[in-house]
Structure 1
């Protein structure tokens, strides 16, 4: 089986969400339903993995993520569906020996070998000595995919997302973890369209990362894109009561499941920006729904 035989649903559907909270500011909200691409390989995770899986050519894939990583889940699912071994290096050695959370349990059920490392080692995972040590101990011939799947191949894979939205939105918003999706999305949009990234981690480090990803992929920085760092709610996987209430309300209004780690923060940010007057009246704002609850 090859990546193409998975038959992802592309282009993913585009739906209008009639919402008076946006409408009162003259904004039309569109939902780019990348969560409907495939039952197991959801949204931007498929777009970022597909070219990497072609490059791996059936070799074992070793990759990285936190305890709630959607990227780890997608890689494990791809391994099960395509028949190649997967290894997930997980941040936090304190998690070893504990019952697995639902995300990691699904990875294990899909056949992924989980290897927990301390947080200091995880921060240095890209350094040649740490990476060489991991490969030597886990699988010397593994194909390495970085955390979040973000590398130049992933960026190229995500340009199609922007191309699918050409001419149908003025602003396209996407939640950002490692920045690869935004890097490709912005490059694929048409002149006059703007991509807006909403980081789900605090730290303000993503701009340099996205520029580096685009230079690696295209040799230059491309597209009109910006980041708004105000909506991380304290950091990755932090879902305080205010955000949970917002997500439940959105689900009730629109009948769309709202994934909490990424999508809820994006939608919350877009509503806040609309209320601030950040979008011109008459604007079409598309939210990329990158995952499912």
Structure 2
């Protein structure tokens, strides 16, 4: 695994944006986006033990799922290339005539790319579909969309051991639920506030609970007020915020995940959501594929 060049622990930086409402708060950012320039943020933490187990079992192929701009597949594709494992990527939608930058990277790294229509992609978690897929790829390790599976949770929980600050709240973006579930499993003592990046009230909560045997192990919630209409939806106010925030702080953000996280942080500070004296940590989960495309 040393071939991958992972840099841990990721640093924690103080954030002082001068937003109204944060005068009595301490704000911090956990810079998981700095773990690696390609294997970014929570993608590495969720893949770590799956890849270790795959190497121990001498797995020659990994099959996984994602969209045309998937941060998960981008990180996984690079890992497989460096580790000498064949990746078969099952992509939602047909990009054969207009491959995205992410798909171009996957092909440059030797991945096999297959395109699925929405009907077939929707079956990606069904046991019968997965059984058929395993039959076609009998010796492959199948990793779910986003890397979110029970095997991913210990790697996510390890980030708590890296914290030297005694924080009261941790904010993080939620797409497939694996990162939030990992922090719950690790019995985080801070209040966990997930920021939904897609329309998924109830659905996202269930995804998290399906991953964690004891979802009541700590205080957590998912806020659904900042998805801006759905996954990868990025109206002008969000894009403007991302540009201004990056210029102000020097932090790289994009409108799919991290931009929505920091927009939510600003809004919650302004609304008085956090009690005076709170120590709030925003988890920058990396994954900047959203900066490479024009429509997301």
TM, length-normalised to structure 1:
0.91
| Residue 194 (1) aligns with residue 191 (2) | yes
| Residue 124 (1) aligns with residue 119 (2) | no
Q: By how many angstroms is 1:86 displaced?
A: 0.5
Change over 3 Å in CA distance of 1:173–1:54 after alignment to 2: same
| Residue 231 (1) aligns with residue 226 (2) | yes
Q: Alignment partner for residue 41 of structure 1, among 36, 39, 42?
A: 39
Retained in 2: the 8 A contact 1:202–1:234?
yes
Within 5 A, what are the aligned runs for 1:49-198? Answer: 49-57=47-55, 58-59=58-59, 60-92=61-93, 95-137=94-136, 139-165=137-163, 167-188=165-186, 190-191=188-189, 193-198=190-195
Q: Alignment partner for residue 273 of structure 1, among 264, 268, 274?
A: 268
* Distance in 1 between residues matched to 2:182 and 2:216, nearest whole Å: 11
| Residue 246 (1) aligns with residue 245 (2) | no
| Structure 2 unmatched runs, 5+ | 292-296
Counterpart for residue 30 of structure 1: 28
Q: By how many angstroms is 1:22 displaced?
A: 5.3
What is the alpha-carbon root mean square deviation over aligned residues?
Answer: 1.7
* Distance in 2 between residues matched to 1:64 and 1:196, nearest whole Å: 27
* Distance in 2 between residues matched to 1:287 and 1:133, nearest whole Å: 40
* Distance in 2 between residues matched to 1:67 and 1:264, nearest whole Å: 19
* Distance in 1 between residues matched to 2:3 and 2:283, nearest whole Å: 24
TM, length-normalised to structure 2:
0.90
Q: How many correspondences in the alignment?
A: 284
* Distance in 1 between residues matched to 2:91 and 2:272, nearest whole Å: 41
SS in 1 for 2:275: coil
* Distance in 1 between residues matched to 2:5 and 2:196, nearest whole Å: 30
Retained in 1: the 8 A contact 2:185–2:215?
no
CA offset digits 1:34-59 (Å, max 9, x no partner)? 01111221110000001001122242
| Residue 214 (1) aligns with residue 212 (2) | yes
SS in 2 for 1:175: strand
Q: By how many angstroms is 1:251 displaced?
A: 0.5
Q: Alignment partner for residue 290 of structure 1, among 275, 285, 291?
A: 285
* Distance in 2 between residues matched to 1:69 and 1:285, nearest whole Å: 28
Change over 3 Å in CA distance of 1:22–1:34 after alignment to 2: farther
SS in 1 for 2:254: coil
Retained in 1: the 8 A contact 2:41–2:284?
yes
Retained in 2: the 8 A contact 1:163–1:188?
no
Retained in 2: the 8 A contact 1:90–1:114?
yes
Q: By how many angstroms is 1:269 displaced?
A: 0.6
* Distance in 2 between residues matched to 1:22 and 1:81, nearest whole Å: 46
